Amino acid sequence: MKHPFFAAAAAAALSVGSAAHAASNDEIAQIRSQLQSLMQRVDKLEAENDSLKAENDQLKAQTEQVSKQIAASNHQSADKLTPPAVKAADWPNRVVVKGDVRYRHQITDDDSASAKRDEDLLRARLGVEAKVNDNIVAAIGVATSSAPGNPRGANVQLDGEFSRKSLYLDLAYFDWTFADNAHFIAGKMKMPFARPGQSLFWDNDINPEGIALTYSTGSLFGSAWSYWIEENVPATATVTTTTDTKMYGLQLGNRFDLGGNSLVVMASYYDVAAAKGRRPFYNGSSNGNSLTAPTEGLAYDFQVVSLGAEYNTKVGELPLQVWADVARNLDAVYDTAYTMGTMVGKASSPGTWETGLAYQLIEKDALFAQHIDSDFGGGLSDADGWVLRTGYAPARNWVLNATYFKNVNNKDVGTEYDFDRFMFDFNTRF
């Protein structure tokens, strides 16, 4: 029996019943039956009370769980409502801003010109690179340049009575890592292929436009590209239809580890499609390539095969680099270009220096001259000669460079003439 009160009451009733001799045995039995029935009902009520208590505890636990879920949901909703704050705090980790400013004093002694030229030139570049997500990086850059936007140089001349200098879109591309070590790049991009040493077959300021694929695995690397050169090239007397001039290219290479030294070997091919008979030129100049007539189109197509090598070692504590690059246009008569040189030291950290010497020859139609270096031979093909470089880094992010070009133009066609250029550069970057 669960309640002592009712047990005591029953005992008392039985005691009284025993003492009351007037009461009959039947009456006592009836009272006992009623008490027993009452105690059974009390037990039933207690069982129901226990059941209700258990249900109440269960409902309380469920209520607490629901409350926690609602609180968590509200917290997540609050997070979703405040991504700008999170992104605002995170953007410095995803965005890189960099640039450089170069002041150049340049002296040119070109025997084909009427007099020496003494110039001061300024180049300024600013770029922003952002990590869009785990697989895509996008970049935008602007640079100074002479009108209408020289593809081979970002220099502007200091003249024009303190006139404003022009800025142009220099870079605009995205780089999608679609697989391990594999990239798809589209837009106006940096050159996606390797070049040996200080080779001047391509101008360092060229930023091609189109699409490219790059891939590397271990020591092997490669790239392929499709670039727009000119849309709807104007018709000429020999070619009456307009066609888009494009460039298709491919490069394969390997980096060899030679016991602390390195050797890089690369083979490349590019084809300038729809070039022969057309004038896909910047600013109307063929830059030395042969024409069928002075106002007509190119005399040859350009299917250029090249092989380059770069060897890096040390002499004591000084870096030493030796390199060579050879190219041939399969569609031309004056079809060969080659260059070789060496560089000792590296002007990078404060107090370091470098100096180098190179020789280069570019026959008249060996390379598509729209893209060759703009300083060697005045930016024209059909030239050969020497390049002497030196540099010193007096402080962090500051390099002083001096370069001297000693060249001869019209090596294959026309009357030879000397072309000399001296450049002194004050380079800063951030």
E strand residue ranges, 189-301: 209-217, 220-230, 245-258, 261-273
- Residue tagged 């350009």 (tokens): 302
pLDDT of residue 142: 98
At 197, list the tokens. Answer: 């040493």
Residue with the two structure tokens 């589209």: 186
Q: In the chain, where are the structural domains located?
A: 4-81, 85-429
Q: What is residue 236's predicted lDDT score, i.e. its pLDDT?
A: 80
Contacts of 343 (CB under 8 A, 6+ apart): 197, 198, 319, 320, 321, 354, 355, 356, 389
Q: How many CB atoms lie within 10 A of CB 261?
A: 12
pLDDT of residue 27: 67
Q: What topology is assigned to 85-429 in CATH?
A: Porin (2.40.160)
**What b/e string do you get for 416-428 counting C-beta neighbours within 10 Å, with b at 16 or more?**
eeebbbebebebe
Specify the pLDDT at position 280: 94
pLDDT at 30: 72
- Give the residue among 257, 254, 279, 277 at the shortest CA–CA distance from 267: 254
Residue 16's pLDDT is 42
Across the 430 residues of the chain, what is the mean pLDDT of every consecutive 10-residue run? 45 44 61 69 68 68 65 54 56 92 98 96 98 97 95 96 96 98 98 97 98 98 97 81 92 96 98 94 96 94 98 96 98 98 97 98 98 98 98 98 98 96 98
Measured on CA atoms in the order 240, 241, 242, 247, is the torsion positive or negative? negative
| CA–CA gap between residue 352 and residue 345 (Å, rounded) | 7
Four-residue CA torsion sign, 315, 193, 250, 340: negative
* Predicted pLDDT at 13: 43
Q: In the prediction, which pLDDT does 91 show?
A: 78
pLDDT of res. 9: 43
